[in-house]
Amino acid sequence: MTLGLVFGLRLRQVEGLLESVLQLMGLALAVPDHTTLSRRARTWQSRNKRHEQEGRPGGALHVLIDSSGLQIYGAGQWLEEKHGARSRRGWRKLHLALDADSGEIVAHTLTDQDTGDVSQVAPLLDQIDGPIGQFTADGAYDGKPTYDAVIDHSAAAGIVIPPRANAVEPTDDRPPGQRDQHIAAIGRDGRMKWQVSNGYGKRSLVETAIRRYKSIIGRRLRARSLPGQQTEVAIGCAVLNRMLDCAPRNPSAARQPRYDQPFQRPPSVQFHIRAPTPFARTLDIRSRDDILATVKWIRDSIGPVDILVNNAGSASKVLNARFLGEDEWNSTVNVNLTAVFNLTQAVLPDMIAKGEGTVITVSSLAALNPNLLGSAAYGAAKAGVKNFMTFLHNTYRNQGIRDDDHPAGRDQHADHGQPGTASSGGRARRDARSA
C-alpha cells in the first residue's frame, strides 16, 4: 500500500509491480492479491509509535495544528460521472499536528466532514509523548476547550491562537489567562506586531505540510470505507516523514563548504568522474534526407537512439482555410506532422532490435480544439500527430516501445504508458505521476 500511495497506483497495479520486482530480484515470494490488501486496509493497526523528544534541547515540542479536506469517491460521484446527475460532494477532514522544528508529522486523525476542528485537539495531543513547549493554531481553534486540552497535556505550554476580532478582556478580578493576555497585547500593539512577537508566522509550516500531502499522496482518498481511509492517511503521513528523513535537516548548512579541515583522500581510493558530452547538429526537419543522414551520424558517433523527443513546431501566418495557400499548408504540415513521421521511422528499427525505446511528441491543445489557437493547417497537423502516436502505441506496445503525445499546456496528457498497457490516445491517465 505504501508503493501505491507513492507512485499513484491502484491495488491491482501494486500487485503487478510487486510481482515484477520480486521476479527481477529472483525471490520466490507470494504477493497478496488486491482483494487481500483491501481487506487488510480496513483492519490494519499502526504501530502507534508516539513521538519521542529524546536528544531535543529542552525536550519540548513546538506543535502546529491545522486541518484540510480530502475528497472521497463514492456513489454520488459515480452517478455524476455515469449519468450526469448532480450530487453532494463527500469529504473527509484530515487533522495534522506538526513539529515546527523538524517538519515531521507527529500526530494525525481523519474524521468526517462535519467534525469540528476543536474536538480533535485532544486526540492529536494524546499521540504525543513528552511536554509541549508551544502550541500554535489559527483562529478556528480559539476557545476554552482548546486551551483546556493543551493545559491538560502540558501545563507549562505556551498557547498562541489569535482571538476573535470581537473578543474582549474579562471584567472580573480573576488572574488573566493566556488568551486574556493575547487580547490585551493585540489591543495595545496591534495584531501584526502580536503575530511577530509570538512567532505566529510558523503556523504556515503546517499549511505547507498539508500542501505536501496533497501534492505527493493526493487530494482524494482511494479507499471506500472510513477504516480503510484512516489506514491510507496513516501510511501517507509515514511516507512523508520517511521522505523528510532522507533530506538534510539544515539544507543551507549542508551546502556550505568547510574550510577548517583540509580534505584527505585515502591512498587506496580513486575517483573517476565522467561527465556526459553534449552533441549538436543542425538540420532541416522538412527534408527526409537530412533526417536520415542525422540519425545515421548519431548511430555512428554515439550509438542507437534510445529516446526520441519531437518538439519542433511551426504555425502558418494565415488562419482562415479559405485564404491559406498550398505552399504554406505543405510547409506547416511538413514541420509538425511529416517530420515526426520521418524521425520516428528512422529510429524505430534500432528500438525494435533492442526491444525497448521511447518516442515522445510534444503536441498541442489545437489537436483537441482546432479553433483554440493556430491555423487550419496547424490544427490538422497536430491532430494527425496525436492519431499517429496512438497508432504507434497500438502497433509496438508489446515490443517494448513507449509512445507518448503530450499536449503542451495540459496537465493530464495522453500517456500511452508502459509497454503492454491497453490504452489509447483518447484516454488520459487519471494520475500523471504513474507515467
Residues acting as catalytic residues = 378
Backbone angles phi, psi at 415, to 5 degrees: -100, 120
Cell of 192: 501584526
* DSSP notation for 34-57: HHHHHHHHHH------PBP-TT-G
Residues in contact with 189: Cβ distance below 8 Å, sequence separation at least 6, in sequence order: 197
Find out whether 254 and 246 touch, Cβ atoms under 8 Å: no
Q: Which of 77, 105, 106 is nearest to 89 (CA)?
A: 77
Quickly count: other Cβ atoms within 10 Å of residue 293's Cβ: 14
* DSSP notation for 87-133: ----EEEEEEEEETTT--EEEEEEEETTS-SGGGHHHHHTTB-S-EE
Q: Which of 3, 433, 435, 1 is nearest to 219 (CA)?
A: 433
Find out whether 392 and 308 touch, Cβ atoms under 8 Å: no
DSSP annotation of 334 reads: I
Burial 226-241 (b: 16+ CB within 10 A, else e): eebbbbbbbbbbbbbe
